[in-house]
A and B are shown apart, each in its own frame.
Chain A
Amino acid sequence: DAGVTQSPTHLIKTRGQQVTLRCSPISGHKSVSWYQQVLGQGPQFIFQYYEKEERGRGNFPDRFSARQFPNYSSELNVNALLLGDSALYLCASKDRDPSNYEQYFGPGTRLTVT
C-alpha cells in the first residue's frame, strides 16, 4: 500500500506570495494533520482534519489555513509568506480508531521563502 504522499517536494517562493501544499493520506485513513518543521527543530502542530472538519489547531497565525476534501486528501495554504515560513511541512495521516494514536508521516514539502 502507498504511504502518505505530499506534493510538491520542493518549492521556492518570494515574500508576500501565497503557497498551497498538498497531501494524500494512506488509503482508508480519514484523519490528516499538518506539521511545520523549521531547520534544527522538532515538528510543530499546525492543523488536524478528520472527516473534512477541523479538529485541532496549533498556535499559528490566520495566514495558515487548510481544508480536507471528500477523498480525504488535504491542502495547506499559507498567505503573505514571510522568511520565517521557510520550513519542511509534514503531513501525517491516522486511521479512525480513536484508541490508536499512531500517525504516519509523509516525506514533506520543503518550502523556501526568499
Chain B
Amino acid sequence: AQKVTQAQTEISVVEKEDVTLDCVYETRDTTYYLFWYKQPPSGELVFLIRRNSFDEQNEISGRYSWNFQKSTSSFNFTITASQVVDSAVYFCALSVLSSGSARQLTFGSGTQLTVLP
C-alpha cells in the first residue's frame, strides 16, 4: 500500500519569506511518480510538478523548487520570496506503476500555506 505524509498542517509566513513544504512517501514499488498540486479556495486542484522515481535531479521553476531524495523518501517543495497569491492548500501525491492503467493518485493530507502581506 502507498502512503503520503505531510506533517505540516498549517504554515504561516510573511510575504517575501522562503517556505518549504515537506512530503514523505511510502511505497514498495520501484517505479512511481510524485506530484505536487495546489488547491486555492475555489477548490480546483492545480498541477505543479511531476517527478518519476528514476530522476532525482532537483528542479527549479521560477520561484518554485523541488528536492527529491529517494534515500529519505522525501519530495519537498520550496517557494522562494513567497507572495500573498501563494496562499492555498498544497498536496503531495504518489502514483505507482503497479496500480495499473488506473494511475490512481494517493494524496497526503495537505499543508495550508498562508502568506501574510
| Contact surface of A with B, Cβ cutoff 8 Å | 31, 33, 35, 40-45, 48, 50, 55-56, 58, 88, 90, 92, 94, 98, 101-108, 110
Q: A106 → chain B, closest Cβ, in Å?
A: 7
Q: How far apart sit A43 and B33, CA to CA, in the bound complex (Å)? A: 17
Give the size range of B's interface with the partner: 20 to 34
Q: How far apart sit A56 and B98, CA to CA, in the bound complex (Å)? A: 12
Other-chain contact of B107, A42, A50, A94 (Cβ < 8 Å)? A42
Nearest CB to that of B6 among chain A residues?
A42
Residues of B within 8 A of A90 (CB): 43, 45
10 contacts between A and B (CB under 8 A): A43-B107, A45-B104, A45-B105, A55-B102, A98-B101, A101-B33, A103-B47, A103-B105, A107-B42, A107-B44
Kindly name the residue among A48, A58, A103 whose own CB sees the greatest number of chain B CB atoms within 10 A. Answer: A103
**Secondary structure call for the B interface:** mixed
Report the 10 A-B pairs with minimum CB-CB distance, sorted nearest first: A56-B102, A42-B107, A105-B45, A45-B104, A48-B102, A107-B44, A101-B33, A108-B43, A55-B102, A55-B101
**Secondary structure call for the A interface:** strand
Other-chain contact of B108, A42, A88, A106 (Cβ < 8 Å)? A42
Nearest CB to that of A9 among chain B residues?
B43
Q: Are A56 and B104 in contact (CB under 8 A)?
A: yes
Q: Does B65 contact A (CB under 8 A)?
A: no
Q: How far apart sit A58 and B104, CA to CA, in the bound complex (Å)? A: 9
Q: Are A33 and B50 in contact (CB under 8 A)?
A: no
Residues of B within 8 A of A45 (CB): 102, 104-106
B residues 84-114 touching A (CB-CB < 8 Å) = 91, 93, 95, 99-110
Kindly name the residue among A42, A105, A106 whose own CB sees the greatest number of chain B CB atoms within 10 A. Answer: A42
